[in-house]
Amino acid sequence: MTEFLTVAFYKFVELPDFADLRAPLLAHCEAQGVKGIILLAAEGINSTIAGPEAGIRAVLAYLKQDQRLMDLQHKEAWSAKSPFYRMKVRLKREIVTLGVPGISPTLMAGTYVKPQDWNALISDPDVVVVDTRNDYEVGIGTFKGALDPQIKSFAKLPDWVASTPALNPATGKKPKVAMFCTGGIRCEKSTALLRAQGFDEVFHLEGGILKYLETVPEAQSLWQGQCFVFDERVSVGHGLVPGHHGLCRACRMPLNDDDLASPLFEAGVSCPKCHATTLETQKNSARERQRQWEFAKARDQDHIGAKLPLPLPINATVPSSLPPIAS
């Protein structure tokens, strides 16, 4: 059976010529049989791609020919089937959207804390621990004692930072802050945001939640629940063992056992979280797409199909955190 290698990587680095990089990079990926998505912006690169091992290695080598990307780090996982149908290279204003001009993770990011040192940091009562992920991610798991901003998208984080009392005490003294996310990319930008606002002691978890779950023994862990991931596993636990959550193919939300048993759940069409937000015409379109997908699956064929006209999480287009690792 053919195995596919999936890799996730990102790097904040100045790429003023990012638009010129798109066409040759896309051509190289396609020539190597690699599929997935790569985001390019003036601030760097963010990607999840999959394909035959030789093709993936060739793309990584191609990228590292650029002196600015020589030290590009990636996380990888194997699967029997590629999780992507197409190869896309997109030009963006930001590789992870925060929407605050002048924030430069390459110059202003906080201090990395290794997974083995994370428990001591977040156990300090003087440290404000912040989960920078979206509400649906936090909803299935987070670190003990962490604040949940309850945001729908990463771009809402700056408003929460400006208004939450924990980060704006009456004394006016900026607290020590520890921030974390799935794979690290959002933390680099969120810690840069805080440093730009005068926070001197800002820390973030190196390698994100996934590296913590991979390296810290469960008996010593302060993690509670599961970690949402943007791939077919949906969620993982300690040791990166796949969790028990399902996924709504319509709204891309993680589903627990109660959600899957709900009469509002219909595979490929709706779940309790999105049933009331879509029109019947949309549900019918989704039913037809699901029928075609099942038809193709029965014949061991790929069905690409059209995108559903349904709302998706803002960062569902690019897995921010991928396999055994990577937002």
Is 40 a member of any domain?
Answer: yes
Q: What is the pLDDT of residues 150-198, one digit of tens each?
A: 999 999 999 999 999 999 998 889 999 999 999 889 999 999 999 999 9
Packing angle between helix 115-122 and helix 208-215, nearest 10 degrees?
100
- Secondary structure of 37-81 as H, E, C letters: EEEEECCEEEEEEEECHHHHHHHHHHHHCCHHHCCCCEEEEEECC
User: Are residues 61 and 160 located together in one domain of the fold?
Assistant: no
Lowest-pLDDT range of 233-242, 264-273, 300-309 = 300-309
Domain containing 64 equals 4-91
Is 247 a member of any domain?
Answer: no
Query: Domain total for the chain?
Result: 2
Q: Are 6 and 50 in contact (CB under 8 A)?
A: yes
Residues in contact with 221: Cβ distance below 8 Å, sequence separation at least 6, in sequence order: 119, 212, 213, 238
- Final residue before a domain boundary, out of 160, 194, 225: 225
What is the structure's pLDDT at 251? 87
What is the structure's pLDDT at 312? 33
- Backbone phi, psi, residue 202, to 5°: -130, 130
What is the structure's pLDDT at 304? 53
Question: Residue 181 catalytic?
Answer: yes
State the DSSP H helix or E strand holding residue 91, giving kind and residue range, or none if neither. strand 87-91
Query: Which residue is catalytic, options 29, 181, 187, 274?
Result: 181
User: Are residues 63 and 117 located together in one domain of the fold?
Assistant: no
CB atoms within 10 A of CB 159: 12
The per-residue pLDDT of the chain, averaged, comes to 88
Burial of 222 (0-12, 13-18, 19+ CB in 10 A): middle
Q: What is the pLDDT of residues 245-302, one digit of tens each?
A: 988 988 888 998 888 999 999 988 999 999 998 899 988 888 988 888 777 777 766 6
User: Are residues 145 and 202 located together in one domain of the fold?
Assistant: yes
For the entire predicted model, the pTM comes to 0.80
pLDDT above 50 for 327? no
